Amino acid sequence: MKYSADFDYNLPEELIAQSPLAERADSRLLIVPPRNGVLIDSTFSGLADRLLPGDLLVVNETRVLPARLYGHKSHTGGKVELMLERLLDERTALVQLRASKSPGVGTELTTTGGTPLRVLGRDGMFFVIGCNPGEQFEELLHREGETPLPPYIERPVERADDDRYQTVYARHPGAVAAPTAGLHFDERLFENLAAKEVRLAKLTLHVGSGTFSPMKSEVLDQHEMHAEEIVVDEDMVEAVRQARDRGGRVVAVGTTVVRALESAAQHGVLAPMQGPTKLFIRPGFRFSVVDMLITNFHLPRSTLIVLVSAFAGVERIREAYQHAVDHRYRFFSYGDAMLLESRNVP
């Protein structure tokens, strides 16, 4: 039995990256071979040297919405902060809501830009918020919302974040957090990968704010995973089939890609899938699609560090994280990355 405490580690606060580097691909890359292979300090710009012709690189095309809104309770003036979890339809959204006192159903809110909202209900820790007729929630976000930097970035949002907290290939709006492993890629790196005959495939997983929530249960098997929307289409499935036929490896750019692909293969074979997934990947999980994983360094006791530990091995990840701390790697969303091979690699 595994516990959340098994995935804790000590991180000096100064190693939490507060801003991106000037160039995306200048980040460091820690190469983590399977089992007892020697850890290698490298740079992200050299990723093409680590992949082989015929490998399939899979990216997540989700686009981050300006998902944070500020306002007040219309009748009392009490300040509120709304953080989108996901859009439910054109006029309603599921949000995290911060206020000095939780508002009840029917409470009227007003954004800082003067847009009226209403609390329609509760769904666990989240609030269901509705717009007035004629208003669309996504349009409201683009008009008044703020780039939702994670809580561990302790500075005001800057104009540059609107670009740098998106991947260069982001296409489908819906995420409230960036798939951060993809932030290291730029056009030159994609050109180098193409020259190496590394293929590219795309899917979508809209990252929810639950990605930053610590596990509340001490026992992993008792944790209830948050839901996220995925789209794995026929082209994605066919790209994996072709990669297998040519002997190539499936290289996931980020834990979101792992979750999407492995969710779509839960019935024994990778198949198209569109809808929510609540798959919680933890030690003991058998990976059937992904062979390699590019990922940033994750929060202690988070479901994401549990996922990478399931992929590469608990002790191997513990060793890699200690190496990263000792060698002053930059952590979390704007930080550095690792390249992992599955512990199942022969």
Identify the weakest region by mean pLDDT among 102-111, 213-222, 223-232, 319-328: 213-222
User: Rounded distance, CA 243 to CA 116, Å?
Assistant: 51
User: Rounded distance, CA 80 to CA 69, Å?
Assistant: 9
The architecture in CATH of the region 68-144 reads: Beta Barrel (2.40)
With beta carbons less than 8 A apart as the criterion, state whether 170 and 13 touch: no
The letter for the amino acid at 14 is E
Listed by start position, the domains of the chain span 4-64+161-341, 68-144
Does 4-64+161-341 carry CATH code 3.40.50.2000? no
Structure tokens at 296: 């940033």
Residue 152's nearest CA partner among 313, 335, 314, 312 is: 335
Residue 181's nearest CA partner among 50, 297, 63, 64 is: 297
Structure tokens at 202: 């795309």
Rounded mean pLDDT of 98-107? 93
Facing residues of 69 across strands? 82
User: Rounded distance, CA 45 to CA 318, Å?
Assistant: 25
pLDDT at 344 over 70: no
The letter for the amino acid at 258 is V
- Per-residue pLDDT tens over the stretch 71-81: 999 999 999 99
Q: What is the dihedral of CA 182, 185, 186, 192, to 10 degrees?
A: -140
- Share of residues in the chain with pLDDT > 90 (%): 88
Tell me 37's DSSP state: P
Structure tokens at 9: 């580690």
Residue 87's nearest CA partner among 60, 106, 115, 63 is: 63
CA 17 to chain CA centroid, Å, is 16
Q: In what order do the strands lie in the sheet with 228-232?
A: 40-43, 28-32, 337-341, 292-296, 250-253, 56-60, 199-206, 228-232, 273-277
In angstroms, how far is the first alpha carbon of the chain from the final one? 26
Residue 218 pLDDT: 83
User: Rounded distance, CA 285 to CA 287, Å?
Assistant: 6
- Per-residue pLDDT tens over the stretch 284-339: 999 999 999 999 999 999 999 999 999 999 999 999 999 999 999 999 999 999 99
Residue 45 pLDDT: 97
The letter for the amino acid at 233 is D
With beta carbons less than 8 A apart as the criterion, state whether 202 and 252 touch: no
